[in-house]
């Protein structure tokens, strides 16, 4: 594939999602080019990102459900040991960062960590294997031009996925903030801090200033969550693509590219784990902040 198109086309192809949407001229269809995907607008679906997110989420549920059903008080299996180790790790993280009482926080943290880790892990699959398989399937069974079959396999390199995760965390923050503090308490948190005064007139002046500062702080939480995960994974995927280009530049560059790819893949294991851990930890911290009342 890399030797049939230019390097620029190769990079663009690997960074373009399989998009389905309502095109102004073609109606509801798959985009054949990146320009067509752009013309489909906001409500187009990134089919590859959504499909892989769903599949990886089901894999997570299957593995943990199977381990739970086969759990024994005797000598545990390797899978049970692995799952119990992850659960203990998540439990320790929640105990260290969450001071409230909520039985849902640990399951939420476990789901976020495992799901994001699995999505990030797709970055270690050889860059051309699954896209080439998708091209073969599209060309053989769907009658599509193989070069117009786009297929990204790392959901967290898609900002739609990372923002979806971050917005879900944001909605939980709002829900628990209102539940624990009430509408009045949550409104007061946004309008009476950080500046306050005993003088009613001065306090009235401070309210819009406080709201602006607190609102920006509130909105920055999901935005930073989404962009941090997306930026790190997108950069890592781009580096894998650039290294893959070296295989088409001769034997010498191919061998050098193989060494680089192995080194980057080993280092990237740390990145994909760290990004899942950071997203989970910040989620726990944000939920802890949402549970804190004036009594704390």
Q: Note the pLDDT tens digit of each residue in 26-72.
A: 899 989 888 899 999 989 999 999 999 999 999 999 999 999 898 88
Find the range with the poorest average confidence among 76-85, 128-137, 143-152.
143-152
Per-residue pLDDT tens digits for 188-197 = 999 988 888 8
- CA 28 from centroid of its chain's CA atoms: 27
Per-residue pLDDT tens digits for 243-276 = 999 987 888 888 999 999 999 999 999 999 999 9
45's enclosing H/E stretch is strand 45-46
Per-residue pLDDT band for 294 (boundaries 50, 70, 90) equals: low
Domain ranges, ordered by start, for the chain: 7-291
Per-residue pLDDT band for 142 (boundaries 50, 70, 90) equals: low
Active site residues: 224, 228, 232
Query: What is the spatial distance between Cα 229 and Cα 272, in angstroms, rounded to a whole number?
Result: 9
Asked whether the predicted pLDDT for residue 4 surpasses 60, the reply is no
Asked whether the predicted pLDDT for residue 25 surpasses 70, the reply is yes
Q: If we measure between CA atoms, which residue out of 294, 280, 242, 295 comes closest to residue 105?
A: 280
102, two tokens: 């909520």
Instruction: List, as one string, the DSSP characters of 125-187.
Output: S-TTHHHHHHHHHHHHHS---GGG------GGGSHHHHHHHHHHHHHHHHHHHHHHHHHHHHH
Asked whether the predicted pLDDT for residue 296 surpasses 80, the reply is no
Report the pLDDT averaged over residues 16-34: 91
Which pLDDT score, from 0 to 100, does residue 184 have? Answer: 92
Which pLDDT score, from 0 to 100, does residue 57 have? Answer: 97
């Amino acid at each position: 594939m890399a030797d049939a198109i230019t390097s620029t086309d190769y990079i663009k192809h690997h960074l373009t999602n399989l998009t389905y949407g309502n095109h102004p001229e073609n109606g509801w269809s798959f985009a054949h080019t990146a320009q067509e995907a752009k013309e489909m607008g906001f409500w187009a679906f990134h089919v590859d990102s959504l499909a892989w997110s769903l599949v990886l989420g089901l894999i997570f549920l299957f593995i943990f459900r199977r381990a739970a059903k086969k759990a024994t008080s005797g000598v545990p299996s390797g899978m049970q040991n692995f799952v119990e180790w992850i659960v203990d790790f998540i439990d320790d993280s929640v105990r260290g960062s969450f001071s409230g009482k909520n039985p849902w926080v640990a399951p939420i943290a476990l789901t976020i960590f495992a799901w994001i880790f699995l999505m990030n892990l797709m970055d270690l699959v050889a860059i051309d294997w699954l896209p080439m398989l998708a091209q073969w399937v599209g060309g053989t069974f769907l009658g599509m031009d193989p070069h117009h079959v786009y297929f990204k396999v790392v959901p967290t390199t898609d900002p739609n996925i990372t923002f979806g995760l971050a917005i879900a965390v944001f909605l939980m923050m709002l829900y628990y903030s209102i539940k624990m503090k009430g509408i009045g308490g949550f409104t007061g948190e946004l309008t009476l801090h950080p500046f306050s005064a005993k003088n009613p007139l001065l306090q009235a002046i401070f309210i819009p200033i406080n709201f602006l500062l607190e609102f920006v702080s509130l909105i920055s939480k999901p935005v930073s969550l989404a962009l941090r995960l997306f930026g790190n994974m997108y950069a890592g995927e781009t580096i894998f693509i650039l290294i893959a280009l070296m295989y088409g530049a001769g034997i010498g560059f191919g061998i050098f590219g193989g060494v680089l790819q192995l080194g980057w893949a080993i280092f990237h294991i740390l990145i994909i784990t760290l990004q899942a851990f950071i997203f989970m930890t910040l989620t726990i911290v944000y939920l802890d902040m949402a549970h804190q009342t004036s009594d704390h």
